[in-house]
Structure 1
Amino acid sequence: MRSLSRRPLLHDFSPNLVCRNCKLQRRQFASARPPASGLAALSSRQLLSVTGPDAAKFLQGIITANVVSSKGEPRTDAFYTGFLNATGRVLHDVFIYPVRGAAGDSAQEGDSFLVEVDAAQINALTKYIKRYKLRAKVAFRAIDSGEISVWHAWNDTPGSQLNIAPNESRIVFEDPRAPGLGYRIIQLAGPKAPELDVDQTTEDAYTIRRYLHGVAEGQDEILREQALPLESNMEYMNGVDFHKGCYVGQELTIRTKHRGVVRKRILPCVIYDKAKAAPPSLVYEPESGSPETLTADMIPAETSIGRSGKRGRSAGKWLRGVGNIGLGLCRLEIMTDVVLPGEQAAATFRDGDEFELEWGEEDNKSGVKVKAFVPEWLRQSLDGQHR
């Protein structure tokens, strides 16, 4: 089955080659704010069925979370986790849903799991896990969105909450990556939208909310075979179990946890014009500026972040964004006020420091300033660990 292709990113094209009409269209696209409550179909995510008598044991050895409960039995609750390579770098960030008889697999004896992954990486994930199959009694099958679909719902309206519960036709799972992010809904009966008392919106609204919460997702943001799980905040997003047995990539992950200091973290960022003052807070304001203003989706991925007006060590790198917000892999001691234990870097953060992104040819450069923010959930986690 053909996998879904990666959604085109606006920063795949040089910002210096974008016409005025395209810039106007981009600004119109970015002007929509996420609704206070909404339901979005996630076409960028796809499911892989893993079934068989050895399914739980098989997954236990290749993911960062624990598939087995404290009683030694396969888990029945959904969870967030990741697949790593042998050197401890993230290959895939996923959700795993234990199910029974999903997508025509009812004839398969044993345990059954749905693995939700970046749709563009479904074939790569299948190829990767088949490498570890050996003699395990387990079968794999990529599932089309017409059979089972992935949705995300939220409600930020004060004094109200989503009235949603799992049933025979859907799995409902509160997203554990950040407080208030919302709920994952797996529609087991095909692409029909879940019946909720909220308006259906776009996946872009979901993406903007993720950025505001500081949550990365997929290989465009958690860079394949480059990102470390701890730098990607996976341990604080309930994706890494440090008490489970061996799994692929465990050695470096455990050593980093107990012996090292994680100096870089994925953080939400705001970009702003070089002539303007730094924004005081993390707010999505796509309508600010003129149509010619550079937007976050026009910044090439992995553009280096540097101190404004100074040369020296890189302060991080840009990952992805939209409007005036996005995600960056940032050095905490340089770009934030977070105090790390042990020896401090020579160039530590000072109130008023500014940082910038520049890209393009030397004689035709583009650039903006960028400011990183530490989400409250991450700051509390870091404070607790450092104490």
Structure 2
Amino acid sequence: MGKIVKLDRCVVQISGPDAQKLLHDTLTCNLSTPLGDQARWFALLAPQGKVLVEGLISNFDEGYLLDVPTSELENFSKRMRLYKMRADLSITPREDLSVGWSSDPIDGGVQDARPEMGYRTYANAFTDWDEDTASYHKERITQSIMEMGADFAPNSVFPHDIGMDQLAGVDFKKGCYIGQEVVSRMQHRGTARKRPVCVVGATLAIGEPILNADKSVGTVTSLSHDKGIALVRLDKVEEAKDYTSNGDAVQLAIPHWASYGFSDS
């Protein structure tokens, strides 16, 4: 077992006879198919279709553990209690549990279903966990996986903008869920424009625009050494053009998991 890194995330437990139905009808991912020993990406959306909270959901006892950004614990718990109504379930912030990550399998852990994103564990004994999250963010950025807090704020992006539609974070065949109408329309009309891409450059800086002839096509959102994630407008990016950021040339590439691409015009 490799090194375990303590992440700035927290856990909400939702358990009871109606837990599966409530979560399936509320979140973007499909919970009618078994999770097994994996953690599946999900979002809770605003009615207008933007991401209020993103996280990973996995099986736990008679329900689920939902791994969300620490900053969104109160908001997420409050919203889920509103949606609970008369459902037979409990919603419990597990402040006794911390979230750990490793690139290698962890005893009692779950595998992140997103490509090459390692394993999560939830435990209250973490004295030997590493507080330095650089290795986690390096892997996340290498895979162009966007994360709330680091890459975007709540209620600022659609699921398509961060690639959730490509990574089983959104299901387009199940019934209605909050924000479903807007997200489904984007999918079926092909109107998604913003997408995460890989960016490489010597002087990258978070928040700096990606430029072509002094016109911005996107922004660097995360960085690990000379590699980063940029959120770009695909309709403004052409394969053969030259791009700069923070004064130097940069290279843009589509993530290996993505089916979208740059314009060849």
Q: TM-score, normalised by structure 2?
A: 0.86
SS of residue matched to 1:186: strand
Aligned counterpart, 1:185:
121
Q: Distance in 2 between matches of 1:354 and 1:75?
A: 41
| From 68, 90, 93, the counterpart of 1:117 | 68
Q: Distance in 1 between matches of 2:134 and 2:195?
A: 23
SS of residue matched to 1:190: coil
Aligned counterpart, 1:11:
none
Aligned counterpart, 1:258:
188
Q: Distance in 1 between matches of 2:82 and 2:248?
A: 44
| From 123, 143, 146, the counterpart of 2:94 | 143
- Structure 1 residue 41: Cα displacement: 2.2
Counterpart contact for 1:40–1:201, Cα < 8 Å: no
1:58-103: CA deviation from partner (whole Å, max 9, x where unpaired): 111210112223xxxx755542211111011111111111211xxx
Aligned counterpart, 1:96:
57
Q: Distance in 2 between matches of 1:58 and 1:193?
A: 36
Counterpart contact for 1:213–1:375, Cα < 8 Å: yes
| From 25, 30, 33, the counterpart of 1:61 | 25
- Whether 1:85 and 2:46 are equivalent positions in the alignment is yes
- Whether 1:152 and 2:152 are equivalent positions in the alignment is no
- Structure 1 residue 204: Cα displacement: 1.2
Describe the shift of the 1:58–1:238 C-alpha distance in structure 2 as closer, same or farther (beyond 3 A): same
SS of residue matched to 1:376: coil
Counterpart contact for 1:80–1:239, Cα < 8 Å: yes
- Structure 1 residue 43: Cα displacement: 2.8
SS of residue matched to 1:207: helix
Q: Which runs of 5+ in 1 are unaligned?
A: 1-36, 101-110, 155-161, 195-199, 274-294, 338-349, 358-366
Aligned counterpart, 1:171:
109
- Whether 1:305 and 2:183 are equivalent positions in the alignment is no
Q: Distance in 2 between matches of 1:376 and 1:57?
A: 33
Counterpart contact for 2:41–2:55, Cα < 8 Å: yes
SS of residue matched to 2:150: coil
- Whether 1:226 and 2:164 are equivalent positions in the alignment is no
Greater C-alpha Rg: 1
Q: Distance in 2 between matches of 1:336 and 1:254?
A: 27
- Structure 1 residue 120: Cα displacement: 1.5
Q: Distance in 1 between matches of 2:234 and 2:256?
A: 14
Counterpart contact for 2:98–2:122, Cα < 8 Å: yes
SS of residue matched to 2:160: coil
| From 111, 124, 129, the counterpart of 2:80 | 129
Between the two proteins, the alignment pairs up a number of residues equal to: 260
- Structure 1 residue 271: Cα displacement: 3.3
Q: TM-score, normalised by structure 1?
A: 0.61
Counterpart contact for 1:148–1:191, Cα < 8 Å: no
Aligned counterpart, 2:253:
373
Counterpart contact for 2:254–2:260, Cα < 8 Å: no
- Structure 1 residue 192: Cα displacement: 5.6
Aligned counterpart, 1:211:
141
- Structure 1 residue 131: Cα displacement: 2.2
1:299-346: CA deviation from partner (whole Å, max 9, x where unpaired): 4x4x443324x34xx301232324333221112243353xxxxxxxxx
- Structure 1 residue 255: Cα displacement: 0.8
- Structure 1 residue 57: Cα displacement: 1.4
| From 218, 226, 243, the counterpart of 1:324 | 226
| From 244, 251, 258, the counterpart of 1:355 | 244
- Structure 1 residue 38: Cα displacement: 4.3
SS of residue matched to 2:47: coil
Aligned counterpart, 1:4:
none
1:261-303: CA deviation from partner (whole Å, max 9, x where unpaired): 3222012222334xxxxxxxxxxxxxxxxxxxxx63xx4x4x4
- Structure 1 residue 242: Cα displacement: 1.1
Counterpart contact for 2:36–2:59, Cα < 8 Å: yes
RMSD: 2.6
Runs of 4+ in 1 over 6 A off after TM superposition: none
Q: Distance in 2 between matches of 1:138 and 1:43?
A: 27
Counterpart contact for 1:152–1:184, Cα < 8 Å: yes
SS of residue matched to 1:382: coil
Q: Distance in 1 between matches of 2:69 and 2:53?
A: 8
Q: Distance in 1 between matches of 2:145 and 2:75?
A: 23
Q: Distance in 2 between matches of 1:131 and 1:213?
A: 35
